[in-house]
Amino acid sequence: MDEELQSYITAGYVESVTSIEKRRSMFTCTRCGNDKRHLFATMPHAACGKLCVYCRNCIMMGRVIECEPLFRGSPQYPWPVVENPCAWGGELTVDQQQAADEIVSAIDHGQNELLIWAVCGAGKTEMLFPGLTAALKAGKRICLATPRTDVVRELTPRLKQAFPDVTIQALYGDSEEKTADAQLLLATTHQLYRFAYAFDVMIIDEIDAFPYHNDRSLQFASKRAAKLQASFIYLTATPRLKEKKRIKQKQLPAVFIAKRFHGHPLPVPKLKLSPWLRKELANRRLPKSILQTVQSQQLGSRQLLLFTSTIEYAQLVTDILQPFYPDITSVHAEDPEREEKVRAFRNQEHTILVTTTILERGVTFPSVDVYVLDAGHVVFDEAALVQIAGRAGRSQHDPTGDVLFFHIGKTNAMLHAQEAILRMNKRGKCQ
């Protein structure tokens, strides 16, 4: 152990804990909470000369092995009190203000949980500003976590602009910032494995999104990353059944916002039957009707966001359209140029962006139409389709946009997504 670490332990800033707890034949990884037997393995460990158990579940964050302890920082560390942290000059709508007030009150009173259920384009980020301001004024430490790297990248500059005097870091797999010692952290949910009892305010964006919503160890990590008396603020446009149930049973305080910040309704998706879609794609063609729709779309001034079910289809569709639209481009999760391409599209350097579901949520392009090819594919569940539709009409200056679902047969997901959007628009009108 190096001297620096030892001195922190002596001073009480850092404590050393058992990394893998063994109880009878059960193991639990202290870092990720994994307790599944098949996600542990043994290896002859050269450092101690014994056969040691290690955790396979969180090995991408560095191996946790039984004979080496874990170290964690002290929750007692004093964070600076920032007098006037917020430089944002914008105004909140009545709805946004209501949500913002609830967030402030949850943070001030150390309320355990609060869910903000706000439609796509309601302006969730801005709603957070008063709450963040209150927390920073009280010398609290905050983490804003999201399952999507793209969302971290999109939010970071906005928050840095709004809170210029606060230390802010963005943490995700490839990020440059590794030290994780800022007062306000933006992180992908996987990064939460690195923290224990560190945050007074834990904001989890997109709680319904893959992989957070069905990964118990990520949920474990987010709980452990927060201090015991921390406030949890959840944000979502499309809560899962689990949350809806808890709201109904009054176990989870919630604010519902049905209106977009600009007051215009959500674009309602239109379903377009295209029975030969998969067959035509197999022959490296697009059905004529779809091609014509794209061509007439391209006569207008809007950009086109084209969703496909798989990476192969994204590349194929791009190849098919390339001769007509030379500035088309495609993007997917493994694309090394992912970040640049999304930025270029936002700067209107491409008229068409073909994408997999990676851009289904959390990203804003000012003026786009949105098409989904093969909307009946399993990757497009109700939440995904609602989120995809929510990419259209996000700008005050251009609050509409066409949302078309091309399919080979209607699915429940498509119908439910359509109904959900209609229902929100109805509630939005009344609100």
- Residues engaged in binding another protein (CB under 8 A): 41-47, 52, 54, 56, 59-60, 62-63, 65
Q: Which is nearer to another protein, 45 or 158 (CB)?
A: 45
Nearest approach, Cβ of residue 333 and another protein (Å): 15
DSSP string, 32-54: T----GGGEEEEE-TTTSSEEEE
CA distance 254 to 276: 44
3 state DSSP class of 34: coil
Q: Which is nearer to another protein, 45 or 346 (CB)?
A: 45
Q: Which is nearer to another protein, 35 or 381 (CB)?
A: 35
70-73/14-17 β-pairing: antiparallel
**Half-sphere exposure at residue 366, Cβ-oriented, CA atoms within 13 angstroms:** 8
Tell whether omega for the bond before 69 is within 30 degrees of 0, i.e. cis.
no
Q: Which is nearer to another protein, 26 or 60 (CB)?
A: 60
Angle (deg, nearest 10), helices 149-162 and 124-137: 60
Paired residues of 76 in beta bridges: none
CA distance 176 to 9: 27
Nearest approach, Cβ of residue 17 and another protein (Å): 20
CA distance 403 to 395: 15
Nearest approach, Cβ of residue 399 and another protein (Å): 45
Please choose, from the candidates 16, 30, 100, 37, the residue with its C-alpha nearest in 3D space to the C-alpha of residue 65.
Answer: 30
Paired residues of 270 in beta bridges: 404
Paired residues of 16 in beta bridges: 71
Q: Which is nearer to another protein, 61 or 271 (CB)?
A: 61
18: which 2 tokens? 């058992």
Q: Which is nearer to another protein, 50 or 245 (CB)?
A: 50
CA distance 201 to 178: 21
Q: Which is nearer to another protein, 91 or 174 (CB)?
A: 174
- DSSP letter assigned to residue 33: -
> Do 15 and 72 contact (CB within 8 A), yes or no?
yes
Q: Which is nearer to another protein, 65 or 294 (CB)?
A: 65
CA distance 47 to 222: 31
Q: Which is nearer to another protein, 50 or 429 (CB)?
A: 50
Nearest approach, Cβ of residue 42 and another protein (Å): 8
Query: Locate tokens 């005097």: which residue?
Result: 165
